[in-house]
Amino acid sequence: MRPCLLTFLLVTASAVAIAQPIPPAGGGEFVFRSAPCISEELRTSIVQMLETNMSTLERAGRIRSVPAGATAVLLDWPLRQAAGVTDPGYYGISNYVDQDTAFPGKVLDYNCGTRSYDQASGYNHQGTDIFTWPFPRYKQANDLVQVIAAQEGIVIGKVDGNPDNSCALCATCNWNAIYIRHPDGSVAWYGHLKRNSLTYKNLGDNIAKGEYLGIVGSSGNSTGPHLHFEVYKNSTYTLANRIDPFAGPCNRLNGTTSWWTIQKPYREPMVNKLVTHFAPPVFGTCPDLETPNERKVFLQGDTVYFAAYYRDQQQGAATQYAVLRPDASAFASWTGTSPSTYNASYWYWSYVLPSNAPTGNWTFRTVFNGVTDTVRFTVNPKTPTAVLDLPGDQYIRLYPNPGKASDPMRIDWQLNGASSQTLDIRVFDLNGRQVGGTQKVRRSGEIEMPVVPGSYVVEVSVNRRDSHRLMVVRW
Ligand SMILES: [Zn+2]
């Protein structure tokens, strides 16, 4: 994508001008295609499995009968980000429960909308589909979104070991799933989990509310990573016994009684994530992982792609974007307006940092739907920098060199070629001891150098050959 040079010139020429609309350099809708989630054959076998398991657990005295007048449980949100991941958002909803049981019939969600679908060969979508966004396959591969128990209960079914990278309809594919019976006798199904990510807990074991159950995956009849969350009022798995946890005017199951502790709104417009990229993100073709091309550290003169990843962006909704220098002055500011309504969408703009851009911590900021989100990135001096030039636009670079304790020295790289390419970086002190390094197969990334002041030798090799040594100094 060509950098928006013209845009940059306009903005610097009038640094305090009112932000103007600027069309994005790229982006669009992320379409999460619907799949029936469970074929009717699979549904039948799941129900048989759960009935068999319940008999076993009842005989073993592990199932408590529900006291008369027991209050119905409330459900907490069944997903969370992995520890240390603090993106503003990480999911979107592609399908609610289809309230219209005729097939082929019309699609009707609890809010009288059409965010659901009819199953291809059976009834209707019987659960809520929550997909992860952005970079769902990358998130799955890196265990970034966890499925957790919406309510305490006992494990009455657990299936693991099935392939978890489905990309298309696959009626015969079984999913990885866990089934929990709550104290009021209601049952929740958690489906499409990542293979071998499921909790160690087994049949008959107790699960606490909020306990880890697995990682969002794409096992079974699925087009991409998502959680299929299906709830029944008791352990008879009929259409009439289903629950749609979302209360609303077209909920024909439990009407205006919400099963959520806190029911989320029908649409939750927000920025899920702000990213500074060194190249536009590559979404690839399922099951290949997306290549986010994210970077937090740039050099003067670099091109930066500023991207916002949204859920529930609605037609006409405006966002104010700004790129702020270390002194908080605006390097660029502009507005964007959503051309349509999306479950998930993203947009990016590119700017070239001037060769004399102030170094330090910069900020990319959005104001959307009354909420301000920010992400920081660092601009380092272009020189002095040890640069290892490789063919094409590949590089391995080390900067700043020399470095300071207050200004972390880093090595970053971009390699094209096959994804099986290996990059070995080894850092030695002057006594020949290895004090850092990494082996990477990713096409891009960065590592931070040891923080102890001193002189080091960095050895870089690509595919275990083409070895290069660099002398670096920090104090
Ligand atoms: Zn589903």
Ligand 1 center to residue 131 CA distance, Å?
10
Nearest of 233, 215, 234, 239 to residue 225 by alpha carbon:
215
Residue ranges of domains in the chain, CATH in brackets: 5-23+271-380 (2.60.40.1930), 40-243 (2.70.70.10), 386-474 (2.60.40.1930)
Per-residue pLDDT tens digits of the chain, which is 475 residues long: 333 333 333 333 334 456 898 999 999 999 888 777 888 888 999 999 999 999 999 999 998 888 887 778 899 999 999 999 999 999 999 999 998 877 667 889 999 999 988 765 555 788 999 999 999 999 999 999 999 999 999 999 999 999 999 998 887 889 999 999 999 999 999 999 999 999 999 999 999 999 999 999 999 999 999 999 999 999 999 888 999 999 999 999 999 999 999 999 999 999 999 999 999 999 999 999 999 999 888 888 899 999 999 999 999 999 999 999 999 999 999 999 999 999 999 999 999 999 899 999 999 999 999 999 999 999 987 765 555 666 666 777 777 777 766 666 778 777 776 556 778 888 888 888 888 887 777 777 777 777 677 788 888 887 777 677 776 766 5
Radius of gyration of the chain (CA): 26
Is the pTM of the predicted complex or chain greater than 0.85?
Answer: no
Residue 9: helix, strand or coil by DSSP? helix
Ligand 1 center to residue 379 CA distance, Å?
44
Ligand 1 center to residue 126 CA distance, Å?
7
Ligand 1 center to residue 343 CA distance, Å?
15
Classify each residue of 37-74 as buried b or exposed e, where b means 16 or more C-beta atoms within 10 Å of its C-beta. bbbeebbeebeeebeebbeebeeeebbeeeeeeeeebb
Ligand 1 center to residue 357 CA distance, Å?
49
The CA-atom distances, in angstroms, between 417 and each of 292, 391, 392, 420, 444 are: 16, 10, 10, 8, 11
Ligand 1 center to residue 116 CA distance, Å?
9
Task: Give all strands (DSSP E) within 369-443, no chain letters.
Answer: 371-380, 386-389, 395-399, 410-414, 423-429, 434-440
Which uninterrupted H or E stretch holds 52?
A: helix 40-59
Ligand 1 center to residue 44 CA distance, Å?
16
The DSSP symbol for 134 reads S
Ligand 1 center to residue 220 CA distance, Å?
11
In the beta sheet, which residues pair with residue 124? 118
Q: How many CA atoms lie within 13 A of 126 on its CB side?
A: 23
Ligand 1 center to residue 219 CA distance, Å?
12
Ligand 1 center to residue 50 CA distance, Å?
19
Ligand 1 center to residue 314 CA distance, Å?
23
Ligand 1 center to residue 36 CA distance, Å?
6
Ligand 1 center to residue 127 CA distance, Å?
5
